Structure 1
Amino acid sequence: MGTPDELSEADFRSLHRHLSGRAPGGATRRGALDTITAEQVLAAVREVRSGRTVSLAAPVNTRPGPDDADPAEHRLIAPPDARPTAEGLEFARDRFAMNVHGDVDSHLDALCHVIYDGTLHGGVPAAGALSPDGASELSVELARDGIVGRGVLLDVPRLHGVPWLEPGTNVSGEDLAAAEARQGIRVGRGDILLVRVGHRRRREELGPWDVADARAGLHPTAMDFLAEREVAVLGGDGNNDTAPSAVEGVAFPVHVLAVHAMGLHLLDYLRFEDLAEICEREARWSFLCVIAPLRLPAATGSPVNPLAIL
């Protein structure tokens, strides 16, 4: 696999303008979600053959580690001291708290998540849209009815005959096109594109590491592939961005291009190992995909458990 060139900040801004001009979607504030029509949902339902469902989320992490200094918190709050009485009715109850945009747990990024040059997607001024109470525009509430469509998995490590891409590896648009050709599938308008780099498998087999310093992901220029195909959502088993960044002065260029320029909701830190095994065994890489974020009207994202239905 070749390593795409690094981009200067000027080159990145030029790419941002180019992709902003090609942003899919209609006249609403839903961004690229507008590329999923009712007809496409019905066509995606016809992808179901066996009725088998597969979770695309990782178990929520509650232990601190090199990639998660602020893990989710979960505790039983009733019965007191987890000691039920011997008689009568009681309810076991628990409390859960999460840093939604961490580097381990599966989550959805809303269109208000990325601020670039003081604006959100579509040029919405960030100062007017964000407050201590949350986001008044472009929040995860845009996806309140769920995201349902045809999911397509492109398995880049499989293309190169390796179990995972090593941290720091950039996936190019040419890699995506080659994976597509190898798998006999074509990504199209309104698809939920899932790109496997093997991040989750590497973490499970070798243990966690500091992903802020090194992780595999997409090269910024690969976003041209997504713009050409007019995809609706992008999901990865890492956080879609490579570290170190390929762009001078921009730490998360794929987030900026996807969310801010193109209006794509992002799915970060998913888990594709079970799905990839089934897809390879059955020689099919598309399926019905259902994503149901929590109804958090002013939130910048949501924990999520996407489902592939085959």
Structure 2
Amino acid sequence: MSTTTSPASGTQTLLAAVSAGTRVYDLGRRLSIGMPQSPNHPPFWHALPRRHGDAVRVDGGSAANDIITMGTHVGTHIDAFSHVSQDGRLFDGSDAADAGRGGRFAELGAHTIAPMVRRGVLLDVPAALGTPDGCVPGYEITPQDLTRTAERQGTQVRPGDVVLIRSGWGRLFGDADRTRFVGHDSGVPGVGEAGATWLADQGVHAAGADTIAFECLRPGAGHSVLPAHRVLLVERGVYIIETMALEELAAAGVHEFLFVLSPLAIFGATGSPVRPLAVVVDA
């Protein structure tokens, strides 16, 4: 007797879960002029080229509209495999300069990132390390830290998961001194080469963090060396999600959830702004 779930019954199960009540955690940062960002990318800008009253219809109606400009790696965003090369080569082995001719990456651009509806796991590293205020500036989160966190939470990392790493640094995103989140002088906590290799060895589909560059930045070094990007984007084919809002999720003690993310299908882009969600069924 077959135990395979039919598409119809699977859909009913999903709808029943929604009807029973779900909680949605917004893991994306609000886009605003002047928000902290990597100095390597064009900043976010928003304007109203047409305001209410600029043009009024015969019936008295009016409309306003907007224009935005921004880099694709500003705010909460996902890196496409075309974003980073190593020794002139991309993830698929292609020549990086040739692949980007014409200003578009046709093979590994953001338009090739499929929407994600996957099991999500939050690894709350400060909680496991006993540092409630977060990891110290420039701290490298090791494979041992990741293993310890997963074991403490009882949350196994499985192939195909999206794993989000909380360092606690995200609390600085709204600081009045916007340079604190960037952390050029202080350094920023995150995984290094070893931590990235650990994640890839678990078979994860994507990895995210609450920091500006995902990985550990040494004091004063800025973005001069990014070995975790090399490991994940070039060598192992794991997407990276940066500048995530993870504090609410951690405060609620949610470590396992349905992760939903859909990038903008910008043809040939090296990344895309995103608004990821963590969905859990109310108890």
Coarse TM-score class (shorter-chain normalised) = 0.7 to 0.9
Which of 204, 224, 228 is residue 231 of structure 1 equivalent to?
204
Question: Is contact 1:154–1:176 with CA below 8 Å preserved after alignment?
Answer: yes
Q: 1:53 aligns with which of 24, 45, 62?
A: 24
**Which residue is equivalent to 1:219?**
192
State the Cα RMSD in Å.
Answer: 2.9
Q: State, as a whole percentage, how many aligned pairs show the same letter.
A: 29
Superposition pairs of residues 110-259 of structure 1, within 5 angstroms: 110-143=80-113, 145-161=114-130, 162-205=132-175, 207-209=177-179, 210-213=182-185, 214-238=187-211, 239-244=213-218, 251-259=225-233
Q: Is the 8 A contact 2:135 2:169 kept in 1?
A: yes
Gap runs ≥5 in structure 2: 1-6
CA distance in structure 2 between the aligned counterparts of 1:66 and 1:98, rounded to whole angstroms: 11
Measure the CA separation in 2 of the matches of 1:165 and 1:61.
Answer: 26
User: Is contact 2:263–2:272 with CA below 8 Å preserved after alignment?
Assistant: yes
Cα distance, 1:251–1:223 mapped onto 2, change above 3 Å = same
Confirm or deny that 1:93 pairs with 2:65. Answer: yes
Q: Is the 8 A contact 1:111 1:138 kept in 2?
A: yes
Query: Are the aligned partners of 2:112 and 2:265 in contact in 1 as well (CA < 8 Å)?
Result: no
- Cα distance between partner residues in 2 of 1:65 and 1:273: 17
- Code of the residue aligned with 2:66 in structure 1: it is D
In 2 relative to 1, CA 67–146 (structure 1 residues): closer, same or farther, beyond 3 Å?
Answer: closer
SS of residue matched to 1:190: coil
TM-score, scaled to structure 1 = 0.76
SS at 1:53's partner residue? strand
Matches of 1:287 and 1:65, distance apart in 2? 28
- Structure 1's unaligned 5+ residue stretches are 1-37
Tell me by how many angstroms 1:254 deviates: 0.5
CA distance in 2 between partners of 1:236 and 1:66 (Å) = 14
**Does the 8 Å CA contact 2:120/2:161 hold for their aligned counterparts?**
yes
Q: In the alignment, residue 28 of structure 2 is paired with which amino acid? A: A
Decide whether aligned partners of structure 1 residues 250 and 66 sit closer, same or farther in structure 2, where only a CA change above 3 A counts: closer
Match of 1:275, as an amino acid? Answer: L
CA distance in 1, matches of 2:49, 2:259: 35
1:257 Cα shift? 0.6
Q: 1:101-135: per-residue Cα shift (whole Å, max 9, x none)?
A: 24xx1110001100110010021111221024221
Say which SS state the counterpart of residue 126 (structure 2) adopts: helix
Write the distance in 1 (CA, Å) between the matches of 2:94 and 2:38: 32
Secondary structure at 1:123 match in 2: coil
Map residues 281-300 of structure 1 onto 2, 5 A cutoff: 284-300=254-270
- The aligned amino acid for 2:232 is A
Residues 66 and 121 from structure 1, CA distance in 2 versus in 1: closer, same or farther, beyond 3 angstroms? closer
Does the CA-based 8 Å contact 2:170-2:210 persist in structure 1?
Answer: yes
Aligned partner of residue 59 in structure 1, secondary structure: coil
Contact 2:200 2:238 in 1 (8 A): no
